[in-house]
Structure 1
Amino acid sequence: MPRKTDNTWTSDALQRGDIAAIQQRVLDDSNYIRERDYVGDTPLLSAIAFDNLELVRFLLKHGADPNVRVNDGYTCLLTASESDTEDSITIVAELIQAGANIHTTGINGFTPLHMAAARGHVEKARLLIDAGAGVNRRKDIDASETPLMEAAFTGQPSTVHLLLANGADPSMRDTVNNRTPLEIAQDAAKGPDPDVVNYLKKENIEIDVDELFSDMDLPSDQLEMMKQSIKNVDMTQTYIDNSNELVKTGNHAEVIHILTKHCE
């Protein structure tokens, strides 16, 4: 169903914690479960975004489609795989059981397993692998990274262990820099690459925001706000900040140790 730019009913009810109202509307209106709100979310997508396990279960029981997408390509399973909440693990399991496609990618090229691996969500990664997710599946954009490469990049020992134990190939290389997962982890541990910083400063890269958002059917005010936020981004500083954050939050030393021993 098409997006309704003035429809905030579901998100408003979730913010109030009025789950009963949403459940009653599902029972009263057979079309509601497929309706799109102001950002293109169905009630199920909204429930997952709010990490509301009770409502997710109810909606799936009453026929909600676990494979609906929003305009950026995100699916229910990608959203749940990204979440850091405890309930989101069970939500991933419920979605898989309901028939969610474990292979579908979002605009960033991530499968749900790429997402879980990169964020260190080992229980979700295990659920996805058990359901048949490909441990050596490459992204179809960027440097065609595998889940193991993403876990190595962000410094996630738990998902690195799990992927290797389930057949992930540590000898595969990305298609841009020709690096193995071990080399990716070693580079990430160093922080910002001076060559990249110099390149970004020299090129003064600007993003074509009109092209970037050309296929997104979003409310005009929201679209303009997103465009302005992108226009104001300092690419060089963003790269430096993100690289430093990776060093701070990731355990690259342990990842390097695991991959080195595995490759001996």
Structure 2
Amino acid sequence: MNRRRQKKLSKKLVAAATFGDSIRINALLRAGARPEISDTEGTTPLYAASVNGADDNVLCLLAAGALPDTESGRGAEGTPLCAAACWGHTETVRTLLDHGADPNLREDHGMGRSPLEWAMTGPYPETLAILLAAGAGPHDRAGRPVS
């Protein structure tokens, strides 16, 4: 498939993930859209589905090969797990962790917030509990545990 077609498919896949259109997501994946490829803004389909808490679409994209720790955007977004934790999307957080997302991975290439820090910004006790059970903990910017 040529680059131009793949770019168009990627743009459409991110849009479908953003709007929770699972029928369109499946059709685009069947047409050859790659779930790990971002759109021209740098947004990945998995991030778009995660920030909206669309767990069925998150599962679909993970099954199609999206990697759970791929960072999205150019500074304004982050990891799928941080996105889901920020909004308290408990099932999406659980799904991402079940598929290997790192509960301690900071966004912004290691310089931003962790999923746990994002979950603490809202009233999301269940999301916090899931992250803590998965091994999330306070870490410094170098990734060392803070006591």
The reply to whether TM is greater than 0.5 is yes
CA contact (8 A) 2:47 2:79 kept: yes
Equivalent residue, structure 1, for 2:82: 149
Q: Does 1:130 align with 2:63?
A: yes
Q: Which has the larger radius of gyration?
A: 1
The residue that corresponds to 1:181 in the other structure is 115
Q: Partner residue of 2:12?
A: 76
Once the two structures are aligned, what percentage of the paired residues are identical? 31
Is the contact between residue 120 and residue 151 of structure 1 (CA under 8 Å) also seen in structure 2? Answer: yes
What is the letter of the counterpart of residue 261 of structure 1? A
| Structure number with higher relative contact order (C-alpha < 8 Å, ≥ 6 residues apart) | 2
Question: Counterparts of 1:260 and 1:134 in 2: how far apart (Å)?
Answer: 22
1-structure distance, mates of 2:34, 2:132: 34
Q: Does structure 2 retain, via aligned residues, the 8 Å contact 1:108–1:141?
A: yes
Deviations 1:47-77 (A, max 9, x none): xxxxxxxxxxxxxxxxxx57527xxxx7111
Query: What per-residue deviation string (whole Å, max 9, x for no partner) do you get for residues 19-52 of structure 1?
Result: xxxxxxxxxxxxxxxxxxxxxxxxxxxxxxxxxx
CA distance in 1, matches of 2:6, 2:17: 13
For 1:153 and 1:107, the matched residues in 2 are separated by: 24
Which aligned segments of 4 or more residues in structure 1 are displaced greater than 4 angstroms?
A: none
- Give the Cα–Cα distance (whole angstroms) in 2 for the partners of residues 132 and 259 of structure 1: 23
Offset, 1:171: 1.1
More helix by share: 1
Structure 2 residues without counterparts, runs of 5 or longer: 137-147
Q: Which residue identity is paired with 1:116?
A: A
Distance 2:25 2:19 in 1: 10
The answer as to whether partners of 1:116 and 1:125 remain within 8 angstroms in 2 is yes
Q: CA separation of 1:177/1:185 partners in 2, compared to 1, >3 Å: closer, same or farther? A: farther
SS at match of 1:81: helix
**TM-score, structure 2 as length reference:** 0.77
Distance 1:162 1:186 in 2: 19
Partner residue, 2:72: 139
Corresponding position of 1:213: none
Distance in 2, matches of 1:106 and 1:256, equals 31
Change (3 A) 1:144 1:67: closer
For 1:254 and 1:109, locate their aligned partners in 2 and report how far apart those are by CA, in whole Å.
30
AA of the residue aligned to 1:95: L
Query: Which whole-Å CA distance do the structure 2 matches of 1:66 and 1:93 have between them?
Result: 15
Give 1:178 deviation, angstroms: 3.6
Name which of 94, 119, 135 aligns with 2:52.
Answer: 119
CA-based RMSD: 2.3
What is the CA distance between 1:139 and its match in structure 2? 2.3
Question: Which residues of structure 1 form unaligned runs of 5+?
Answer: 1-64, 190-246
TM-score, structure 1 normalization: 0.45
* Pairs within 5 Å for 1:24-173: 67-68=7-8, 75-84=11-20, 88-142=21-75, 145-173=78-106
The alignment partner of 2:134 has SS state of helix
* Contact 1:172 1:180 survives alignment (8 Å): yes
